[in-house]
Structure 1
């Protein structure tokens, strides 16, 4: 689809991948609303800061009214509260589900009519290789991403009739605050945003950004031991 001249909304856009998405869309000529719980943290030129907490229906409704027309929705807002599976806080796990899974659902529901009014457009859901791979040190995060992936597939079916394409973006470790404590090779947020927008322009429904996500996806048809054998 064409990006130039379109209106886009990116959630969680005050830093990391969300900030990179907002910049990339702006460079392609879109009018970009960069959303965050604290929009005063958004200082990039060329974007419009807007308050939006994906767990707060009131701020979502206010954003829908303020933006009006919308052609591209990027559901990027997310949280990760790592802890071992046997000692992790269930309150933290609920928070991950509220933000990563239900937040994506709530924002997409709210903006679906605007997308339809503008000919369909696209929804980009920022997922993870953890959508397909359980993490014993971050079980709540992985479960929320698995739920978000399932939701993305349901959205793809539901929104097809109004001409809205749903794109799932999967990646391994990205150099952001979210993964600051992870000692693994990482790619930049800019690489993620560029790959996702390239997928949007090419009409793809799934973007596997790095070799890690491609390897995990390719292992899915195999026996469970291929993913969870003893290390």
Structure 2
């Protein structure tokens, strides 16, 4: 995908990876809608700011209506969570945002992308798609669901020429794997690699050596 001609919408663009993806897209020549639950927290030169809570169906529908020229959807918004045996409301919140919120965005914007030539969807996940770490297991099932959903969507949206790419990394500041043993990466570096993956039409972007190791571990028996 040629990002210099892209019109992108990024969720969770007020900080971390999302903020860097938005600012780097501007640098690469794209038109950018930067969204957040608190739009006043978005401070990025050259973007159009929209309020968006991806767990609110009306807000998602409104964003799809306002940003009807989008051909790149970046699903970056996500939350960390407790152990799966922690407060059940916190566990549900991880699934509501990371999986259901992402799916809601895809469902709303797939027709927009189709009208604009197909474009691409970038789903930002982590190594938690494949790896359980102590003290934060609730996001894992939701991230695994995002990975699996990305595979399914890639097939379902192929007919409208929409590329679906999932991004996975060990840890980067505000990502769901913070607190794990993974070496932490600079969010700017993650954003750069993710956007390079979109430009290369990659199906999956595995950012760092830790996540490469985790990905390869799926071939082994899950013994501790």
Give the TM interval when normalised to the shorter protein.
Answer: over 0.9
Contact 2:170 2:177 in 1 (8 A): no
Structure 2 length-normalised TM: 0.95
The residue number in structure 1 matching 2:61 is: 61
Q: Are residues 206 and 183 of structure 1, via their aligned partners in 2, closer, same or farther at CA, if it must alter by over 3 Å?
A: closer
CA displacement at 1:176 relative to structure 2: 2.8
Give me the whole-angstrom Cα distance separating, in 1, the residues matched to 2:172 and 2:129: 15
Contact 1:134 1:143 in 2 (8 A): no
Structure 1 length-normalised TM: 0.93
Contact 2:126 2:143 in 1 (8 A): yes
The residue number in structure 2 matching 1:141 is: 139
Q: Are residues 171 and 118 of structure 1, via their aligned partners in 2, closer, same or farther at CA, if it must alter by over 3 Å?
A: same
For residues 40-78 of structure 1, what are the alpha-carbon distances to aligned partners after superposition, in whole Å with 9 as ceiling and x for unaligned? 111111111101110001111111111111110000000
For residues 158-196 of structure 1, what are the alpha-carbon distances to aligned partners after superposition, in whole Å with 9 as ceiling and x for unaligned? 111100000010000112376665575300111111001
CA displacement at 1:108 relative to structure 2: 0.6
Structure 2 alignment gaps of length 5 or more: none
Structure 1 segments of 4+ aligned residues over 3 angstroms from their partners: 177-184
The residue number in structure 2 matching 1:224 is: 222
Contact 2:172 2:184 in 1 (8 A): yes
SS of 1:4 mapped into structure 2: helix
SS of 1:168 mapped into structure 2: strand
Give me the whole-angstrom Cα distance separating, in 1, the residues matched to 2:88 and 2:29: 43
SS of 1:106 mapped into structure 2: helix
Give me the whole-angstrom Cα distance separating, in 1, the residues matched to 2:100 and 2:33: 21
The residue number in structure 2 matching 1:189 is: 187
Structure 1 alignment gaps of length 5 or more: none
